[in-house]
């Protein structure tokens, strides 16, 4: 049977928008930002989009600030309020997003600061994936956090966190967060998992325009996938007037955005758009994915997995494990997996050997 997709041509959208920031001592309002996200999702749905992607940490907001040693008490207070406004998965905010996804028949890829349900005070820089049926597909937690993010976000682990390419009725969705585009082994992993629409999440800061542009387009060209690039833009009129002293709201350069839709050949279909809040929307055609693979195909004629491959941690890392497991050498589980694979190979080879007659 020939390959068939439910939809070959459909629209995708990138939200270039601002989270809601407040003056001290409130700082954040996840509810107001969620309301704004719902409005943008509904608008994208009216535009006919089947997918909308939001910027990095859109809920409750990206940490455009860092520690000021001269005002540590205010930082401590802000840190706690950022935690309290962060999103649990599942939780009340994800419930709202699932409902609007189903109502608008649109897949949502949302940048969130995720609050850990298990470990108190732990946060992640995450991508949340929600289907058009209103179901949570999963999350991906950024594996290496950048600059001031390290004050807030714990690095993402292995296991399901590294299996974050999701099969949907509009193709296989995956994504990377800002500096993760420099993690070439991670990019290679997404390629091996067959990503077809790569969701590219960025903070939209000035001086990142080239980084945002080049890395997103390069990834799409290498993977031969479509890209939906979403970067935040905060109009100056919406800047808080009395925020934390060591923040981007005291820097005249402000924000740029740079959102767009990228083809499997690394070319813009729409955008990049700078210096305004908007929804960037364009039609993509999944049949173009394979048309771009006739020369360089990293999952086909252009791979050399026999020479170069990626070792992936198959289990999530836990900070506390039972003593009986903790006493084992670190590589026991890895060795057990390798032994099992060797046993399977031996069994297969033995079946292929013809037994002598008689």
Instruction: Give the DSSP per-residue string, 102-143.
Output: HHHT-EEEEEEEEEPSSSTT-EEEEEEEE-TTS-EEEEEE-S
Question: Checking DSSP bridges between strand 107-115 and strand 136-141, what pairing results, if any?
Answer: unpaired
pLDDT at 303: 86
Question: 125: Cβ–Cβ under 8 A, 6 or more apart, which residues?
Answer: 56, 57, 111, 113, 114, 141, 142, 145, 149, 152, 153, 156, 177
**Beta-carbon-side half-sphere exposure of residue 10 (alpha carbons within 13 Å):** 21
| pLDDT above 90: residue 308 | no
The lowest-confidence range among 114-123, 199-208, 230-239, 309-318 is 309-318
Confidence of residue 2 (pLDDT cuts 50, 70, 90): low
Provide the 3-class DSSP secondary structure of residue 173.
strand
Q: Give the pair of three-digit tokens for residue 263.
A: 């083809």
- Name the percent of the chain lying above pLDDT 90: 75
Q: Could you name the CATH architecture of 9-291?
A: 4-Layer Sandwich (3.60)
In this model, does residue 321 exceed pLDDT 80? Answer: no
* Region 200-207 average pLDDT: 94
pLDDT for 346: 84
Kindly tell me if the per-residue pLDDT of 328 is higher than 60. Answer: no
pLDDT band at 5 (very low <50, low <70, confident <90, very high): low
What per-residue confidence (pLDDT) applies to 357? 53
| Residue 341 scores a pLDDT above 90 | no
Q: What are phi and psi of 19, to 5 degrees?
A: -70, 165
Per-residue pLDDT, averaged over 169-190, amounts to 96
Percent of the chain with pLDDT over 70: 94
Residue 4's pLDDT is 63
Which parts of the chain fold into alpha helices (H)?
30-46, 72-84, 92-104, 184-192, 209-223, 287-291, 323-326, 332-352
Average the pLDDT over each of 47-51, 82-86, 171-175, 326-330 and give the range with the smallest value: 326-330
pLDDT at 325: 53
Task: Taking residues 244-259, report their average pLDDT.
Answer: 91
Local confidence band at 1 (pLDDT 50, 70, 90 cut-offs): low
Mean pLDDT of 227-247: 95
- Chain centroid to CA 63: 16
In the prediction, which pLDDT does 75 show?
Answer: 94
Q: Is the pLDDT of residue 345 over 60?
A: yes
Q: For residue 294, which phi and psi values (nearest 5 degrees)?
A: -65, -25
pLDDT at 233: 97
Does residue 358 surpass a pLDDT of 60? no
Structure confidence at residue 112 (pLDDT): 98
Beta strand pairing status for 107-115 and 123-130? antiparallel
How high is the pLDDT of residue 69? 92
- pLDDT over 70 at 298, yes or no: yes
Q: Is the pLDDT of residue 136 over 70?
A: yes
Q: Would you call 161 helix, strand, or coil by DSSP?
A: helix
pLDDT, mean over the chain: 92
- Rounded to an integer, the average pLDDT of 84-105 is 98
Are the C-beta atoms of residues 226 and 268 closer than 8 Å to each other? Answer: no
Given a cut of 90, whether residue 354 has pLDDT beyond it is: no
How far are the Cα atoms of 282, 287, 305, 336 from residue 341, in angstroms, in the given order?
45, 36, 17, 9
């Amino acid at each position: 049977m020939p390959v068939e997709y439910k939809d070959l041509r459909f629209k995708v959208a990138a939200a270039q928008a601002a989270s809601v920031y407040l003056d001290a001592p409130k700082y954040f309002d996840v509810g107001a930002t969620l309301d704004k996200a719902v409005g943008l999702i509904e608008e994208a749905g009216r535009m006919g989009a089947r997918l909308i992607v939001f910027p990095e940490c859109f809920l409750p907001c990206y940490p455009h600030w860092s520690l000021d040693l001269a005002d540590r008490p205010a930082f401590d207070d802000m840190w706690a309020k950022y935690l309290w406004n962060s999103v649990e998965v599942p939780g009340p905010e994800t419930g709202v997003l699932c409902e609007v996804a189903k109502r608008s028949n649109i897949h949502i890829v949302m940048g969130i600061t995720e609050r850990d349900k298990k470990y108190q005070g732990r946060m992640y820089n995450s991508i949340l994936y929600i289907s058009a049926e209103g179901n949570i597909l999963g999350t991906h937690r950024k594996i290496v956090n950048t600059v001031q993010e390290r004050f807030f976000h714990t690095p993402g682990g292995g296991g399901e966190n590294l299996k974050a390419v999701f099969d949907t009725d509009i193709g296989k969705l995956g994504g990377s967060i800002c500096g993760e585009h420099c993690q070439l082994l991670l990019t290679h992993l997404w390629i091996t998992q067959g990503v077809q629409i790569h969701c590219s999440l960025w903070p939209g800061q000035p001086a990142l325009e080239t980084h945002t542009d080049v890395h997103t387009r390069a990834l799409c060209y290498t993977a031969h996938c479509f890209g939906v690039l979403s970067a935040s833009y905060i109009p100056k009129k919406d800047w808080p007037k009395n925020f934390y002293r060591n923040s981007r709201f005291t820097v005249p350069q402000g924000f740029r955005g740079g959102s767009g839709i990228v083809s499997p050949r690394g070319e813009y279909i729409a955008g990049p758009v700078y210096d305004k809040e908007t929804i960037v929307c364009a039609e993509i055609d999944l049949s173009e994915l394979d048309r771009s693979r006739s020369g360089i195909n990293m999952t086909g004629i252009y791979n050399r997995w026999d020479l170069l491959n990626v070792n992936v941690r198959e289990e999530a890392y836990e900070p506390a494990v039972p003593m009986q497991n903790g006493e084992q050498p670190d590589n026991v589980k890895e060795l057990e997996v390798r032994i099992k694979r060797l046993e399977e190979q031996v069994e297969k080879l033995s079946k292929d050997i013809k037994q002598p007659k008689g």
